[in-house]
Amino acid sequence: MRCASVSPEVVVPKEVREALGLKPGSILDVQIVDGKVVMVPQTSYTSRLFGKHRSLWQGEEAVDYIRSQRESWCD
């Protein structure tokens, strides 16, 4: 059990942090649902983008692709 203090911080118990994989600086979305406080971990923007469009790069090196695009600008 935790009690509210003067500080605007919320202490998340160690067991909960470990279970959710929370690290210092993790962002939680705080909502009120049916009169209860619900905190949901938010993934970072870069984490959500990781691996997107992976199929575009299969079989091609990024540097070679960029070079070919730059060469096409000169045509």
pTM (two decimals)? 0.48
Query: Looking at residues 47-74, what average pLDDT do you find?
Result: 80
Asked if residue 55 has pLDDT above 80, the reply is no
Q: Provide the pLDDT for residue 53.
A: 76
Burial string for 5-32 (b: 16+ CB within 10 Å, else e) reads eeeeeeeeeeeeeeeeebeeeeeeeeee
Asked if residue 3 has pLDDT above 80, the reply is no
Query: Looking at residues 61-72, what average pLDDT do you find?
Result: 86
Asked if residue 46 has pLDDT above 90, the reply is no
DSSP label at 63? H
Burial of 45 (C-beta count, 10 Å sphere; 0-12/13-18/19+): exposed
The mean predicted confidence, pLDDT, of the chain is: 83
